[in-house]
Each structure stands twice: as C-alpha cells, then as structure tokens.
Amino acid sequence: MNLNLKKFSGTRGLCVGYSCEVDQPGKMLRAQVGGQPLVITRNKEGILRAFYNVCRHRGSLLVLEDKKHERFRCPYHSWTYDLDGTLLGCPLFELEKDEKKFNKNNYGLLPVRVSQYGCFIFVCLSQKTEALSDYLGDMPRDYKNFPLEELRLVRRKKYNIRANWKLIAENFLEYYHLPWVHPELCEVVPLEMHKRNQGAGMYMSFFASPLAQSNSSLDAAALLPMPGLTQKEQESGYFPFVFPNVAMFLLPHHLFSLILKPQGINLTQEYGDLLVHPSVFNDPEAQRKIDEIFAFYDMVNEQDIRAVERVQEGIMAQAYDGGRMCYRFEEPVHRFQNMAIDFLTNTRSQFKADESFASSSS
C-alpha cells in the first residue's frame, strides 16, 4: 500500500503538534497536511484555531515562522487579519473605484477543523467527519490518569527515514523484533512483559508491566512519576498509536512520541519528541536525566530506522508477496492494516475493544 497521508487528511486523527507550542494567544505553529499549508494558533480568548496558511488576496503564504505574532500580516501586500481570521486591513484599497463593492467580511482566513486531546493537536481538512472524541473512542478514558494536557516539549529531533510511513507504524506496533533489534530496550521492557490493552477507537495499544529495574534512564524510579497515577501506572509502560500518524511511549515520568510526516512513497520525515510534566524539574538533576532519557530513545529510534529501511528495500523484491504474522506479538499490526485498508476503500469499520480489557476498564 504505497500512498501518502493525503488519503487520510479528512480523518479526525492527523496529529500536527502539541498544545505547548501554541500555549499563548498569537503563538503560531505551521503544518502541512495532505499537501495543504496550515497554521495553528490561539485567539485572544485562548481558543485553539487553525486556518489555511494563505492570504485571501493573491494566495501568498501568510506565516513564515513558528513564533508569536499579534496578528496575521501577509508579507506580500500587507493584508492583515486578527487571530480569529477576520480581515482587518488591506492597504490602499480605499483608492479603488469599486471600493464599495468590496466587503472585507467576505475575505477572512479560510478555517480548518482543529481539536486537542491532552497535549496533542489534531487537524482535519473535512467538515463532515466525526468529532475527535468519537474517533479516539475509549482512549481518553483509558489514559485519563495521565495529565497529558500539562506536558511540555523539552527535546526534539527530526529524522529522515528512507521508508514508507506505514512500515514505520507497523514496526512500532509489534514487539516481536525487540530481542534482535533492541537488546538494551529489552532490559527495561522485556519481551514477555508486553500485552495488549486495546480499547475501542481508531488506535492500537499495548503495555508492559512491571518495568524492569535495569539501572537505565527509562527505569520507573529514574524521575518522579507524573501526578495522579495509580500504583500500576507508576510501574508500567503504555504504547498507544493513534491512526494514522502518532506513536506514544507513555512511561510514568515522561512521554516520547513519534509524529510521522510522509514526504514521498519511500521517504518519511519523523519527529521524535520528549515531553515531561513540569513537576519533574523539582529534581535538581532533571536536565541531566532528561538528556539521558532522550539519548536512549535516539539510540532505539536509530535501531528501528535501520530495520525499517531494510524492510523497504526487501519488499521491493518481485517474488515477495507478503508474510505471515505472529499473533501473540504482531496482532496490533493486523488492526493497523485493517484501518489502512478501510480508508483506501472508503469504508469505516467500528474497531472494538478487547473484551477482557473492556470489562477490566469499566
């Protein structure tokens, strides 16, 4: 299935960034979704807004940097818009003979649907699809104890991966490869600890519990846990993937997420982001520990990149017509592939929770 995310740009699940990147009125976050230039901000009342990053005059890109602005101002002809998208000024139009025929109210910025779950910002180019809360299903309930909306982005690295984005997603969703690709990670989350905890909704999820005490930066005791977690959550790792483009490593004291941004059939830009709760900075060694956590994930991610790039080359062999999955360790991949097939065929199935997980979560 060689396609980019343009097919999925009408879903409610395209993640473009984090709420902390637009935590004040006028802070701007640019994004590309389905080949479309967008900008996300907050208005003066703090309400999250998104628009096409295009001036209504002659189509110039409007915002060129991710930084704070008092208003939108086009660098081409200086048309100016407020943070709600209303056109405020268009210089020299008063000299036009047809000035009375021009109504500024008809030339505001073009809006885009935008929603927030926890620290994540999702956009949707379609006005007709379901609400994000329906799209996510059980996920907000099942991870409700994690104060995701309070997390702050503290480290980021951009990776350019020579592989299709779906291969990267599938690699995240299976733990069969861990002993051979990630021996260091297995010291923290041994293979046999991994189990599904799948709720209903457009996501896949598994967890590992209890985390091993490996004297690594990922140990549960390496930093203070996020406030509000249960005892089990304080000693476990959770790994949800919201279809189609955001993966999460949710541990007691941090969140490491991967946002996938396809650049072509065989090329994906990936952002590896580390977020923490502000309370971790009560530890005087927090910055050092954060550096060590991020370095560990960077090592693990580089191992994954080499693996998926080998798969990308291998599946091009004309004799290869698909493989055979291991149910115990690769079932989340099957769920992901069914979601991708649904969107390719304009079908919308209801992806249910595991019965055991649904009953234990109620």
**Chain segment 281-339, per-residue pLDDT in tens:** 999 999 999 999 999 999 999 999 999 999 999 999 999 998 898 888 999 999 999 99
- The confidence band for 359, taking pLDDT boundaries of 50, 70 and 90, is very low
The reply to whether 274 and 357 lie within a common domain is: yes
Quick check: bond before 244 cis, omega within 30? yes
Query: For residue 101, what are its two tokens?
Result: 């025929």
Query: For residue 344, what are its two tokens?
Result: 């390719």
Q: How far apart are CA 208 and CA 199, in angstroms?
A: 16
Query: For residue 110, what are its two tokens?
Result: 């073009």
SS3 content of the chain, % helix, strand, coil (to 5): 30, 25, 45
Q: Which of 75, 92, 117 represents a domain boundary (last residue)?
A: 117
User: Does residue 154 belong to any structural domain of this protein?
Assistant: yes
Ranking 16-25, 190-199, 240-249, 310-319 by mean pLDDT, the lowest is: 190-199
Dihedrals φ, ψ of 75, to 5°? -75, -10
The yes-or-no verdict on residue 108 having pLDDT over 90 is yes
* DSSP letters spanning 168-200: HHHHHH--TTHHHH-HHHHTTS-GGGEEE---S
Tell me what the mean pLDDT of segment 91-107 comes to: 76
Amino acid 358: pLDDT? 44
User: Does residue 346 belong to any structural domain of this protein?
Assistant: yes
The reply to whether 86 and 192 lie within a common domain is: no
User: Does residue 59 belong to any structural domain of this protein?
Assistant: yes
The yes-or-no verdict on residue 164 having pLDDT over 70 is yes
Half-sphere exposure of 255 (CA within 13 A, CB side): 26
The reply to whether 169 and 296 lie within a common domain is: yes
Amino acid 1: pLDDT? 44
The reply to whether 82 and 189 lie within a common domain is: no
Q: Which of 117, 136, 162 represents a domain boundary (last residue)?
A: 117
The reply to whether 31 and 113 lie within a common domain is: yes
Give Cα 271 to chain centroid, integer Å. 9
Quick check: bond before 210 cis, omega within 30? yes
DSSP at 34: T
User: Does residue 143 belong to any structural domain of this protein?
Assistant: no
Amino acid 46: pLDDT? 97
Looking at the structure of the chain, the number of domains it has is: 2
Q: How far apart are CA 200 and CA 197, in angstroms?
A: 10
Query: For residue 334, what are its two tokens?
Result: 């099957």
Q: Average per-residue pLDDT in the chain? A: 91
- CB-based burial of residue 65 (10 Å sphere; 0-12 exposed, 13-18 middle, 19+ buried)? exposed
Query: For residue 317, what are its two tokens?
Result: 């062999």
Q: How far apart are CA 312 and CA 133, in angstroms?
A: 34
Q: How far apart are CA 229 and CA 251, in angstroms?
A: 11
The reply to whether 79 and 209 lie within a common domain is: no
The reply to whether 186 and 77 lie within a common domain is: no
Query: Domain containing 103 — which CATH number?
Result: 2.102.10.10
User: Does residue 136 belong to any structural domain of this protein?
Assistant: no
Q: How far apart are CA 333 and CA 107, in angstroms?
A: 45
The reply to whether 165 and 289 lie within a common domain is: yes
Domain that holds residue 184: 150-361
Q: Which of 73, 100, 117 represents a domain boundary (last residue)?
A: 117
The yes-or-no verdict on residue 94 having pLDDT over 70 is no
Q: How far apart are CA 66 and CA 49, in angstroms?
A: 15
- Residues above pLDDT 70, as percent of the chain: 92
Amino acid 7: pLDDT? 61
User: Does residue 348 belong to any structural domain of this protein?
Assistant: yes
Helix (H, G, I), strand (E, B) or coil at 122: strand
Q: How far apart are CA 54 and CA 51, in angstroms?
A: 8
The reply to whether 170 and 89 lie within a common domain is: no
The reply to whether 38 and 173 lie within a common domain is: no
Q: How far apart are CA 120 and CA 214, in angstroms?
A: 30
The reply to whether 112 and 155 lie within a common domain is: no
User: Does residue 69 belong to any structural domain of this protein?
Assistant: yes
Query: For residue 321, what are its two tokens?
Result: 């017509």
User: Does residue 226 belong to any structural domain of this protein?
Assistant: yes
The reply to whether 168 and 247 lie within a common domain is: yes
Query: Domain containing 281 — which CATH number?
Result: 3.90.380.10
- The confidence band for 12, taking pLDDT boundaries of 50, 70 and 90, is low
- CB-based burial of residue 9 (10 Å sphere; 0-12 exposed, 13-18 middle, 19+ buried)? middle
